[in-house]
Structure 1
Amino acid sequence: MTFPHGFIWGTATASYQIEGATTADGRGPSIWDTFAAQPGKILGDATGERACEHFHRYRDDIELLHELGMPYYRFSTAWSRIMPDGRTIEPRGIAFYDRLIDRLLERDITPMLTLYHWDLPQALEDEGGWRNRDVAAYFADYAQTVHKALGDRVRQWTTINEPFCAAFLGYGNGQHAPGLKDEGAALVAAHHLLLAHGHGAQALRASGADEVSIVLNFSPVLTEVDDEVHREAARKFDFLHNRFFLDPVLGRGYPPELLEDLAHVGTLEPAIEDGDLEIIAQPLDWLGVNYYAPTRSTPLADPAADSNCPLPGLRGMDVMPPQGELTSFGWEQRPESFTDLLLWLTEHCDGLPLIVAENGAAFADVVEDGRVHDAERVRYFAKHIGAVHNAVARGADVRGYLAWSLLDNFEWAMGYTQRFGLVHVDFETQQRIVKDSARFFAAVVAGNSAPERAGAHDAVDDVPGQQDEQRDDR
């Protein structure tokens, strides 16, 4: 598969999922530290205290990226490492990302920085978290601080990753930090996350950022019957899961039908103040697209009945079980929905370029004789990269693809039970083992790279864990 010249290739990670070192160098607690410390919240009562120890082993991990021939690396900064209380700068936190970026550039890897991947400082949650409108303004200060420190070397910036999860799973159904179960709070949090994006984008632009984006997660909706009631059920889910976040970012505000769907909750519209929608609708250079699986919907006989889908305010429809091949997470593998999504986004977003910021799958990997032969993940990537290629061939303006994820990591509420990595991590020894899927993906990247890069990193050796104290210097 040949992609257009200049197509972006790389991998992605998130700070809390890989860094560990949750009390190192002045880092303050985040909502995920607090949430994980509560018994029963995380499968196996796991925490991110160690995770992949990337804070200490970042040099080894960057070397893996280099040996795999990855031109780009998308990572997130931890707000609580840079500002432990959400407001006060901690120079040692900035220094870590300073070292990280310098090392990436030394190894010819372009950094792509995400400012928020769900790990809000606990000090700000104590003030109401994303229910508190002021946090959106604090986020702008954080964005400006990070750009001032790192903007001379980072061109591509993302404000918020998946506000859907941060709001609806964190404040609505309690599956994610901070663990609230309050539909009204979830809707308010979602609006304030979008407002934070707008303020953050303004701050980045004012600071001189070259490219600004937001990353949204999408789930195309499938119906088994093409009639009015099934289409209406699909619309309700689509508007809440997808259009709630996309349309305001595009400058279209919240769809009127969505506001009508949510009127019975009674919190969203009062939270929208004059000028908010203009702030949210900041110009973007590209839209980050995260895709994992579609959703199958069906109508309920009573349009006012609560849904079995734990999204705030959703009524009149249910979510049906996935079909066909599933990942170990139970997610449906349907690459054709990926193609359809990218084509729809190109049309709906009026030509705004797209970058696939996350796509990947968890499977039950097995280490045999020092190797991981993850044939299921290889097939998954082959089919889904093919789906992107198909979308591009049919006119979708997709400019890049980032695989999720570089490393097996702390998978949020699932602890360490779900492995998405191209690289296997033994969480006891911290040994890294390059999986077959990483070698496959590296070959795809090499085959689509400039002639001077293609084939330059064919051999990839397994990287054993190193002692922490050897990993703190530049």
Structure 2
Amino acid sequence: MAPKDVLRFPPGFSWGTATSSYQIEGAVSTHRVPSIWDRFSHTPGVVSDNSTGDYACDHYNRFKEDVKLIKTLNTSHYRFSIAWPRIHTFEDPAAPQSNTHGIAFYNALIDELIANDITPVATLFHWDLPIAVEDSTGGWAGSGAVADRFEEYARLCFEKFGDRVKNWITLNEPWCSAVLGYEVGEHAPGDTSKPGVNVYKAGHNLLLAHGRAVKAYREDFQAIQKGKIGISLNTMWAEPKDRNNATHLEAAQRDMDFELGWFADPIWKGDYPATMRETVKDRLPEFTKDEKEMLKGSSDFFGLNHYSSQYATGMYVPDPPLVSHWNDKATTHEEDKDWKKTDMGWSVVPSGFRKLLLYVQEKYEPEGGILVTENGLASKEPTREAASKDSLRIEFYTLYIKAAHEAVGQGADVRGYFLWSLMDNFEWAFGYEKRFGLFFVDYKTMERVAKPAVEWYRKVTSTNTLEV
């Protein structure tokens, strides 16, 4: 056997796993008000296996057991999300009340993590908007009142948990909330009423909510609590198929502007990308001067979620010229026939990950570095036996973590890597059919079973090195 290369990561590099509240907690009727995902998942036909998150992984009742699983991984950090519907009640939607039971649950989870020397990283919003907020404000595509409600919620979280939580993420993947929730309709709330319009309203309100929460934290909490706050943005990598072809180059940049730049540019540059403004025109809302100032610099790190890449091959002229987000972007794509596919149908392209990390570093120069807050794959593992033979997961993570190491060597300030996900869970519109976890979950017994990648990842985290 050929000797292996040992790739060492920088001292203090943060290794972790990630989950979200609706995907793992269950107990949706226990000390919690309904979320848009409760309503959406109970709508016949919108989830592929007709499942809901009612029980999920029963993490609400098994969190101590799950913290023990995290402990076995020897990871320094754990990223979870707080369920807004567990924190506020809404007898009066305009004046929400705190939920002492929900706050007690997260206090117990945070204390259990800290007792096991695991640093909590808390996401304030991972898609489970309270129905009361959606219906009273119009949700993310409605009035600016949704940002008022979000700031109130964020302040309550800072007050109750900020003495121990020193790492905050405001929003997870606002692109998904806007596009999948208010354009495509594949995610809650499933609003397809105004294509090419509501999607941009939603993105705008999400950005303002982020800015309001960060402003509140920095003005009233950060000096005392001494934490960090930022945002997690998702994007594929768009690679020009032919770098000598001007149309391919233009298409790739449009892809990056309409996915990553849409949210990153206002935060690191001060406004939307020029390509979006020129194309979307008055359907893209304007920031006031004060809002631009609030947003610019409003992330202490660059949280990045990444799963796949594709080739950009050119532009198309919409026919018919219907108003839609996709016709605004108007790019065409291809994939390499030799790229392996995950069970989601996403291509495995580690070189795209390396290029993306370098792109983020060069374009945005984030002072707090880059945190890879999600990276992972679904592998087809319907049974324990299939999960016990899971070799693609180790191959995928080896290739992608190696790509991250290469990016560090080429100048990308990557400071942490959070593997998605700790355990199999409710994968949104795919229900329980797709399995991203390090631990296999038997949804009948709720037993967690380690997949082969558990021992592999433990070796990486314990040594701060990757063998390739």
TM-score, normalised to structure 1, is: 0.90
- Matched length: 444
Q: Secondary structure of 1:400's partner?
A: strand
| Aligned equivalents of 1:309, 1:20: Cα separation in 2 | 38
Whichever residue aligns with residue 176 of structure 1, its letter is: H
Whichever residue aligns with residue 210 of structure 2, its letter is: H
Q: Equivalent residue for 1:465?
A: none
Contact 1:236 1:261 in 2 (8 A): no
Whichever residue aligns with residue 117 of structure 1, its letter is: H
Match for 2:374 among 352, 358, 366?
358
Displacement after TM superposition at 1:344 (Å): 1.3
Q: Equivalent residue for 2:140?
A: 130
Whichever residue aligns with residue 99 of structure 2, its letter is: E
Displacement after TM superposition at 1:370 (Å): 9.8
Whichever residue aligns with residue 190 of structure 1, its letter is: G
| Aligned equivalents of 2:122, 2:447: Cα separation in 1 | 26
Displacement after TM superposition at 1:276 (Å): 2.0
> Relative to structure 2, which stretch is displaced further, 380-389 or 201-210?
201-210
Displacement after TM superposition at 1:267 (Å): 2.4
Q: Equivalent residue for 2:272?
A: 254
Displacement after TM superposition at 1:13 (Å): 0.4
Contact 1:335 1:384 in 2 (8 A): yes
1:244-267 residue CA offsets vs partner (Å, 9 max, x unmatched) = 11110113311222111112xx42
Match for 1:104 among 105, 113, 122?
113
Q: Equivalent residue for 2:215?
A: 202
Q: Equivalent residue for 1:244?
A: 262
1:359-390 residue CA offsets vs partner (Å, 9 max, x unmatched) = 00000125456962210001001111111111
> Relative to structure 2, which stretch is displaced further, 158-167 or 358-367?
358-367
Whichever residue aligns with residue 63 of structure 2, its letter is: Y
Q: Do the aligned partners of residues 322 and 148 (structure 1) sit closer, same or farther apart at CA in structure 2, a change above 3 Å counting?
A: farther
Q: Do the aligned partners of residues 187 and 322 (structure 1) sit closer, same or farther apart at CA in structure 2, a change above 3 Å counting?
A: farther
Root mean square deviation, CA, Å: 2.0
Contact 1:298 1:318 in 2 (8 A): yes
Q: Equivalent residue for 2:3?
A: none
Q: Equivalent residue for 2:122?
A: 113
> Relative to structure 2, which stretch is displaced further, 217-226 or 47-56?
217-226
Q: Do the aligned partners of residues 329 and 307 (structure 1) sit closer, same or farther apart at CA in structure 2, a change above 3 Å counting?
A: farther
Q: Do the aligned partners of residues 322 and 137 (structure 1) sit closer, same or farther apart at CA in structure 2, a change above 3 Å counting?
A: farther
Contact 2:270 2:293 in 1 (8 A): no
| Aligned equivalents of 1:448, 1:200: Cα separation in 2 | 33
Match for 1:54 among 59, 69, 84?
59
Matched, 1:446 2:462: yes
Q: Equivalent residue for 1:38?
A: 43
| Aligned equivalents of 2:320, 2:112: Cα separation in 1 | 51
Q: Do the aligned partners of residues 435 and 214 (structure 1) sit closer, same or farther apart at CA in structure 2, a change above 3 Å counting?
A: same
Matched, 1:377 2:393: yes
Q: Do the aligned partners of residues 237 and 310 (structure 1) sit closer, same or farther apart at CA in structure 2, a change above 3 Å counting?
A: farther
Q: Equivalent residue for 1:150?
A: 161
Whichever residue aligns with residue 361 of structure 2, its letter is: T
Displacement after TM superposition at 1:287 (Å): 1.0
Matched, 1:419 2:424: no
Displacement after TM superposition at 1:204 (Å): 1.6
Q: Equivalent residue for 2:4?
A: none
Q: Equivalent residue for 2:185?
A: 174
> Relative to structure 2, which stretch is displaced further, 312-321 or 201-210?
312-321
Contact 2:375 2:420 in 1 (8 A): yes
Match for 1:64 among 57, 69, 76?
69
1:288-329 residue CA offsets vs partner (Å, 9 max, x unmatched) = 111101133232453x54799984552432233564101010
Match for 1:316 among 323, 330, 335?
330
Q: Secondary structure of 2:8's partner?
A: coil
Whichever residue aligns with residue 130 of structure 1, its letter is: W
Contact 2:387 2:440 in 1 (8 A): no
Q: Secondary structure of 1:275's partner?
A: helix
Whichever residue aligns with residue 266 of structure 2, its letter is: P
Displacement after TM superposition at 1:228 (Å): 1.9
Displacement after TM superposition at 1:144 (Å): 0.7
> Relative to structure 2, which stretch is displaced further, 85-94 or 37-46?
85-94
Q: Secondary structure of 2:258's partner?
A: helix
Matches within 5 A, 1:394-433: 394-433=410-449
Displacement after TM superposition at 1:223 (Å): 2.6
Match for 2:313 among 298, 303, 321?
298
Contact 2:196 2:324 in 1 (8 A): no
Match for 1:161 among 172, 183, 208?
172
Whichever residue aligns with residue 124 of structure 2, its letter is: L
Q: Secondary structure of 2:98's partner?
A: coil
Contact 1:236 1:314 in 2 (8 A): no
Contact 2:122 2:168 in 1 (8 A): yes
Matched, 1:391 2:407: yes
> Relative to structure 2, which stretch is displaced further, 226-235 or 180-189?
226-235
Whichever residue aligns with residue 444 of structure 1, its letter is: V
TM-score, normalised to structure 2, is: 0.91
Contact 1:186 1:312 in 2 (8 A): no
| Aligned equivalents of 2:423, 2:454: Cα separation in 1 | 10
Contact 2:197 2:283 in 1 (8 A): yes
Q: Secondary structure of 1:362's partner?
A: coil
| Aligned equivalents of 1:368, 1:253: Cα separation in 2 | 49
Query: Structure 1 stretches (4+) deviating beyond 6 angstroms?
Result: 306-310
> Relative to structure 2, which stretch is displaced further, 231-240 or 373-382?
231-240
Q: Equivalent residue for 1:453?
A: none
| Aligned equivalents of 2:323, 2:334: Cα separation in 1 | 9
| Aligned equivalents of 1:398, 1:438: Cα separation in 2 | 23
Q: Equivalent residue for 1:185?
A: 198
Q: Do the aligned partners of residues 320 and 309 (structure 1) sit closer, same or farther apart at CA in structure 2, a change above 3 Å counting?
A: farther
Q: Equivalent residue for 1:471?
A: none
Contact 2:236 2:306 in 1 (8 A): yes
Q: Do the aligned partners of residues 337 and 301 (structure 1) sit closer, same or farther apart at CA in structure 2, a change above 3 Å counting?
A: closer
Q: Secondary structure of 1:297's partner?
A: strand
Q: Equivalent residue for 1:211?
A: 228
Q: Do the aligned partners of residues 390 and 278 (structure 1) sit closer, same or farther apart at CA in structure 2, a change above 3 Å counting?
A: same
Contact 1:198 1:282 in 2 (8 A): no
Q: Secondary structure of 2:424's partner?
A: coil
> Relative to structure 2, which stretch is displaced further, 115-124 or 223-232?
223-232
Q: Do the aligned partners of residues 334 and 306 (structure 1) sit closer, same or farther apart at CA in structure 2, a change above 3 Å counting?
A: farther
| Aligned equivalents of 1:391, 1:348: Cα separation in 2 | 14
Contact 2:316 2:332 in 1 (8 A): no
